[in-house]
Amino acid sequence: MNYLSELLGIPVIDSAGERIGVANDLGIATGEVFPHVTSLAFLGPGKTPFMISWRKYVDHVGDDGVYLNRPATDIRFSYLQPTEVLLSRDIMNKQIVDTQGLKVVRVNDIKLSSSGENQLRLLGAEVGVRGLLRAFHPLLERFVVRIAQAVGHPLSEEIIAWSYMDLLERSTKHLKLSVSHKTLGELHPADIADIIERLNPRLRGQVFNQLDVAQAAEAISELDDDELRSEMFEGLSDTDASSMLALMDPDDAAALIDELDYSKAEKLMHLMGVKEEAAIRTLLGYAEDTAGRIMTSEFVSLPETATAADAVEAIRALDEDFESFYYVYTEDASGVLSGVLSLRRLIVAESTVQLRDLCHREVIWVAPSLDQEEVAEEMAKYNLASIPVCDENQRILGVVTVDDAMDVMIEEHAKDLHIAGVGAGDSTTKESSHALTWFAQRQYWLVVWAIASAAIASVLTAAGVRVPLIIYPMAFMPVCLLGAARMVSFVKNYFLEYVQPEDDSKPYLGFLVQNIVVGVIVAGVIELCAQLVGTTAFADQTTLDALAFYRCARIASAVILGTYISSVVYLKILFWRDEHDLNSSGTSLSASATLIAAGAFSVASALALIAIAGV
Question: pLDDT tens digits for 545-594?
Answer: 899 999 999 999 999 999 999 999 998 988 888 777 676 677 788 889 99
Q: What is the DSSP letter of 356?
A: G
The one-letter code for the residue type at 416 is D
CATH no. of 298-411: 3.10.580.10
pLDDT(520) > 90: yes
Question: What gap in Å lies between CA 395 and CA 389, rounded to an integer?
Answer: 8
SS3 at position 128: coil
- Model-level pTM? 0.47
Q: Which pLDDT value is given to residue 418? A: 58
Question: What gap in Å lies between CA 172 and CA 398, rounded to an integer?
Answer: 41
Cα end-to-end distance, the chain, whole Å: 78
Question: What gap in Å lies between CA 170 and CA 48, rounded to an integer?
Answer: 24
Q: Are strands 19-29 and 37-43 parallel, antiparallel or unpaired?
A: antiparallel
**For the domain 4-167, what is the CATH superfamily, name and number?**
PRC-barrel domain (2.30.30.240)
Q: Which pLDDT value is given to residue 110? A: 87
Judge whether 549 and 534 are in contact, CB under 8 Å. yes
Judge whether 375 and 387 are in contact, CB under 8 Å. yes
Half-sphere exposure of 459 (CA within 13 A, CB side): 18
User: For residues 270 and 374, which has the higher predicted lDDT (pLDDT)?
Assistant: 374
**Of the candidates 608, 603, 598, the residue with the CA atom closest to the CA atom of residue 478:** 598
Tell me the pLDDT band of 291, cut-offs 50, 70 and 90.
Answer: very high
Q: Are strands 103-106 and 95-98 parallel, antiparallel or unpaired?
A: antiparallel
Burial-class residue 120 by CB neighbours within 10 Å (0-12, 13-18, 19+): buried
The DSSP H or E segment spanning 354 is none
pLDDT(430) > 50: no
Least confident piece of the model among 19-28, 171-180, 225-234: 171-180
User: Using CA of residue 377, residue 379, residue 380, residue 385, what is the dihedral sign?
Assistant: negative
Domains 184-285 and 440-613 share a fold: no
Tens-digit pLDDT profile for residues 115-138: 666 778 888 888 888 888 887 778
pLDDT(424) > 50: no
**Of the candidates 401, 377, 405, 371, the residue with the CA atom closest to the CA atom of residue 388:** 401
Tell me the pLDDT band of 386, cut-offs 50, 70 and 90.
Answer: very high
Q: What's the CATH class of domain 440-613?
A: mainly alpha
Q: What's the CATH class of domain 184-285?
A: mainly alpha
Q: How many other β-carbons are positioned within 10 Å of the β-carbon of residue 366?
A: 22
Q: Which pLDDT value is given to residue 13? A: 93
pLDDT(1) > 70: no
pLDDT(366) > 90: yes
Q: Which pLDDT value is given to residue 175? A: 36
Question: What gap in Å lies between CA 1 and CA 61, rounded to an integer?
Answer: 7
Q: Which pLDDT value is given to residue 429? A: 39
Beginning with the edge strand found earlier in the chain, give each strand of the sheet holding 159-161 in spatial order: 109-114, 120-126, 159-161
CA distances (Å), 76 to each of 73, 249, 318, 410, in order? 8, 57, 62, 63
Q: What angle do CA 88, 92, 98 make, to 5 degrees?
A: 135
Judge whether 29 and 17 are in contact, CB under 8 Å. no
Q: How many other β-carbons are positioned within 10 Å of the β-carbon of residue 277?
A: 18
All structural domains of the chain with their residue ranges: 4-167, 184-285, 298-411, 440-613
pLDDT(179) > 50: no
